Amino acid sequence: MKIKSSSKNGPNAKRASSPGVAPAPPTYQIKITLEVVKPAIWRRLSVPGNASLSWLHAAIQLAMGWTNSHLHQFEVGGRLFSDPHVNTPAFDGEPEVLDEAKFSLRDVAPHEKDVLHYEYDFGDTWQHTIVVEKILPPEPDAATVAVCLDGKRACPPDDCGGPWGYQDLLKVLRNPKHEEHDSMKEWLGRPFDSEAFDVTRTDAYLRMLKWPRTTEDHLCGLLMKRDGFGG
């Protein structure tokens, strides 16, 4: 399925520059919304415009609540971006997978109102729409971090069967008399509140993300701490 990028040609941020000095990157305000699920699950972030898509992937995993346990990809205007070492076309004729580490957010979405699509877990097919809400002038304090500005509702548990499986899970949890109620609670392993979201806590973990590149081990460590495992 090809998804076209939506570009309304909003104004680019003005970037300060001087001879011999690389221009400072603009700050992007983006909104990430999980598709299909209602009521909407979303996060609003501020991120450096020169953030690589691989770094943005890590920020999305932290902010949304995923566990980075599955493959992912970005799609913009029919072009696919991912980690080409683990996500390669399965069949001849499929689109080339471009290296997400070599493209920045402003490379693929240079204008306000531009849209990216992010897919996580090709089995459960969690599709996200990412909208560039604002492109702001450079901010020194925001040049190397992602900031969580707002958000609503908890992320679905990994491996719950995609949007439709998640809706079924919520129905089971709401009905103590359902035959699968106890088994689903046991599978979850902890209480689950679909309405819960802590913007301050999410922001704290986002600010721990290494810049300008992170590693699988570093991201894994942050995700485990976020979810209450480890120190």
Cis peptide, bond prior to residue 84, ω within 30 of zero: no
Two tokens at 30? 């983006």
- Stated pTM of the model: 0.89
pLDDT tens digits for 192-211? 999 999 999 999 999 999 99
**Cβ contact 53:101 at 8 Å:** yes
Domains and CATH numbers, the chain: 27-153+197-218 (3.10.290.30), 156-194 (no CATH)
Higher pLDDT, 88 or 147: 147
Given this model, what pLDDT does residue 231 score? 57
Task: Calculate the CA 48 to chain-centre distance.
Answer: 14
pLDDT tens digits for 33-45? 999 999 999 999 9
Q: What is the mean pLDDT of residues 120-149?
A: 96
pLDDT at 148 over 60: yes
pLDDT at 17 over 50: no
Residue 5 to residues 25, 78, 117, 131, 186, Cα–Cα distance (Å):
22, 8, 8, 10, 41
pLDDT at 4 over 70: no
pLDDT at 151 over 80: yes
**Cβ contact 67:178 at 8 Å:** no
| DSSP-based three-state secondary structure for 81 | strand
Higher pLDDT, 161 or 17: 161
Mean pLDDT of the chain, nearest integer: 91
Given this model, what pLDDT does residue 11 score? 40
Q: What is the mean pLDDT of residues 110-135?
A: 98
